[in-house]
Amino acid sequence: MQSPRSRNRLLASLHDADWRLIAPRLQSVEMLNRQVLEAANQTIEHVYFPTQGIVSVVAKSADGQQIEAGVIGREGMTGAAIVMSNHRSPNEAVVQVTGEAERISADDLRTVLAQSEQMRQLAQRFVQVFMTQVAQTALANGRAKIEERLARWLLMAQDRLDDANLQLTHEFIALMLGVRRPGVTDAINDLEGKGLIRSARGLVRIIDRDGLKAAAGGIYGVPEAEYDRLIGSA
């Protein structure tokens, strides 16, 4: 029996007894643009289950280079290190699209994971899905054209925001894809010329989702299928 008490898909999947175990420990919070939820190599104090918005997991090098490794929305949770019995990560988790989340302290989550087999299983399965997403992002960054990578990113953003209108600037997309801004502008113009999206200042509107999937050239869909296999479809 699924709980309708949360818009986060992991929490909504919990049976009533498991929900009652975690619910008193959850706090509803806002996620503000550019808010750092997990700092690299710092102890994780809280884990977030987004109900709205997007969190980016950013890989950072020793000399300050950075690129987005993966995204998390209402399908998942931050705090993979906690799930894997650790306390910190070399990556950073930062809010890229403002939203809301259910927050739990790392210690409380450890308690719930120890007592709830279902929550432990869901969390571990999500970590596997996220690892798959990170691997596919590496594949896309190494092998795909910018237009394909942009199409994939827009689809992933829409999945998490449930909205065809995405508040995104060219500068933001360039940072997330690890490319120069002129390359993003060319890619947006290419997708717009094909009638797949419409771009205005700070806004990208998805017009043809199926066409955008085709434009992604096969680099979209593997993590999504793994999520459906391991956790369930929406």
- pLDDT by residue (tens digit) across 86-141? 999 999 999 999 999 999 999 999 999 999 999 999 999 999 999 999 999 999 99
The CB density around residue 135, as the number of other CB atoms within 10 Å, is: 14
Q: Which of 11, 4, 13 is nearest to 26 (CA)?
A: 11
pLDDT tens per residue, range 183-212: 999 999 999 999 999 999 889 999 999 999
Q: What is the mean pLDDT of residues 20-40?
A: 97
Q: Rounded to 5 degrees, what are φ and ψ at 224? A: -65, -40
CA distance readout (Å), 227 to 82, 122, 212: 20, 10, 20
Q: How far apart are CA 77 and CA 69, in angstroms?
A: 15
pLDDT tens per residue, range 41-56: 999 999 999 999 999 9
Q: Structure tokens of 108?
A: 């409380």
Q: What is the pLDDT of residue 234?
A: 62
